[in-house]
Structure 1
């Protein structure tokens, strides 16, 4: 394996993956449960420090769940903004982790990182040239979305917050939604906790032919259509426990995307939709490799 040794942290709502990689090849990774910021980040710092003592890192990439403050001029840069994740609002993700290593460090959302990795090494790299606009969605504990635009993660005033978009509901769907901020935003309709509230049991315990999946597929298709219409993304990749765990749901979503768009986008039809709306090519490694991509970019900027 060639290339400098880099460190990566993918911080999720239920687990944190800490890794070291040479180039894009992950040589070791450890999973740590996400509990409190002090306990979780402290365990990450201890591991990174031990690895760095064995062989120094050239850079650190942090791909974290959000919302995050990514404005480097802000006094709370790298901190967690108000979040439903208990105890994590205000946590200094970047400060704690970057202080552990005397090397350049970068932070972005986990979904922006995953989009970047997929654009370079996954679904976006399967054609003749890397995708110039790719969206990565994760549907699990929450719903997040990120973009790789011309080989750079997308953010401005903030980062994309696709999970809190309000979509047009399916006729007759009376589910109130489960988001503590907005009720029936898309996260409040189709995330793992939302499915449990909607169905009364976890989504993986519901039969594939249960008619209530039609409303879920409708809602996800509404989000996908919104993304395609507003960003002209070449691909929308759907990952996470809900996204990658039900191939039957993805098929329903594709059919509804085509139907809802009504032929307006000429590049989306029954023949092409399976290549546009699909699972990540990197599978569950898209997130960890996103942290690697962020670290490698820090080296390239030096």
Structure 2
């Protein structure tokens, strides 16, 4: 029986898992993220337990190089994460075991899980927005993950600052001018002194957060016209947020463009915290089929 492997590679932790041909998880583990060589040494030790793995899907924190024609394809690029900048992630795995790999971003992995089996299984185009330690988006257009010169960094779109917000911003590149700088989990905690988990439902933080996410949804809508936008990540776990985003989105759109009913258009993630792993499995299967 051929097995599939999954590597959800985050800046804080790596989630590793193995599934059978029916995508049933048969084993999984979590590793603390160290530097590149130390982490991948432990990754390969884990997968050595499963000699029948036929392909692996890798969804990695970035920025990463997704261009197969590039000399740095498979690398983690210029990241502030210690021990990872310009690290040949995919090359390390190929030296360990020469099998098919699907190499993509962490948010693309989650987006693909939602596309294949989740909130968007019946649509052809979607945008998956994760709001947590950072802000990022996986974009699928007509059944294909979107990338060009590089992968999208949709968390760094410019945002109009809410007049009630006097926070200086958390992004080291754009401060209070981009979505991640204003709406990420660390930005919320730095601004309010409480994490998203700790803020009460009637705190003004949620109205401001909803404004920023609604602005982002409007921008994505006008440029990409997806069939659906899915909200994931730790901040979006709070149920108070999405209804406020829908309300503000409708106000900002002001009837300009036709979209599906807002409750069907702006939706929560369906696969929860398993989205990244499931996406890796589906993409591993795709890499195996392609090979």
Q: TM-score range by the shorter chain?
A: over 0.9
Deviation at 1:151, TM superposition (A): 2.2
The Cα offsets for residues 259-289 of structure 1, whole Å up to 9 and x where unpaired, read as 1111112224xxx212211111111111001
Deviation at 1:103, TM superposition (A): 1.0
1:63 alignment partner in structure 2: 59
**Among 86, 102, 111, the residue aligned to 1:115:** 111
Q: What SS is found at the alignment partner of 2:240?
A: helix
Q: What SS is found at the alignment partner of 1:204?
A: coil
2:94 alignment partner in structure 1: 98
2:218 alignment partner in structure 1: 225
1:149 alignment partner in structure 2: 141
Deviation at 1:59, TM superposition (A): 1.0
Q: What SS is found at the alignment partner of 2:19?
A: strand
The Cα offsets for residues 170-213 of structure 1, whole Å up to 9 and x where unpaired, read as 22422121001111211111111111111123222221111132
Whether 2:30 is the aligned partner of 1:38: answer no
1:212 alignment partner in structure 2: 205
Deviation at 1:296, TM superposition (A): 0.8
Kept after mapping to 1: 8 A contact 2:188/2:205: no
Name the CA distance, whole Å, in 2 between partners of 1:191 and 1:97.
31
Name the CA distance, whole Å, in 1 between partners of 2:31 and 2:72.
25
CA pair 149-25 structure 1, distance change in 2 beyond 3 A: farther
Deviation at 1:150, TM superposition (A): 2.3
Q: Which runs of 5+ in 1 are unaligned?
A: none
Deviation at 1:218, TM superposition (A): 0.4
Deviation at 1:290, TM superposition (A): 1.2
Name the CA distance, whole Å, in 2 between partners of 1:93 and 1:187.
25
Name the CA distance, whole Å, in 2 between partners of 1:261 and 1:84.
37
2:230 alignment partner in structure 1: 237
1:189 alignment partner in structure 2: 182
Provide runs of 4+ in structure 1 moved above 4 Å: none
Deviation at 1:108, TM superposition (A): 0.3
**Among 283, 287, 290, the residue aligned to 1:298:** 287
Q: Which runs of 5+ in 2 are unaligned?
A: none
Deviation at 1:41, TM superposition (A): 1.8
CA pair 86-254 structure 1, distance change in 2 beyond 3 A: farther
The Cα offsets for residues 47-76 of structure 1, whole Å up to 9 and x where unpaired, read as 112222xxx221111011111111112121
1:18 alignment partner in structure 2: 16
Measured on the aligned residues, the alpha-carbon RMSD in Å equals 1.5
Kept after mapping to 2: 8 A contact 1:135/1:237: yes
Q: What SS is found at the alignment partner of 2:57?
A: strand
Number of paired residues?
A: 289
Q: What SS is found at the alignment partner of 2:50?
A: helix
The 5 Å alignment of 1:49-88 reads 49-52=48-51, 56-88=52-84
Name the CA distance, whole Å, in 2 between partners of 1:46 and 1:92.
18
Whether 2:274 is the aligned partner of 1:285: answer yes
Kept after mapping to 2: 8 A contact 1:113/1:153: no
Q: What SS is found at the alignment partner of 2:120?
A: helix
Name the CA distance, whole Å, in 2 between partners of 1:5 and 1:150.
28
Name the CA distance, whole Å, in 2 between partners of 1:251 and 1:294.
32
Name the CA distance, whole Å, in 1 between partners of 2:200 and 2:269.
24
The Cα offsets for residues 97-124 of structure 1, whole Å up to 9 and x where unpaired, read as 2332231112001111211121111111
Name the CA distance, whole Å, in 2 between partners of 1:215 and 1:80.
33
Kept after mapping to 1: 8 A contact 2:7/2:277: yes
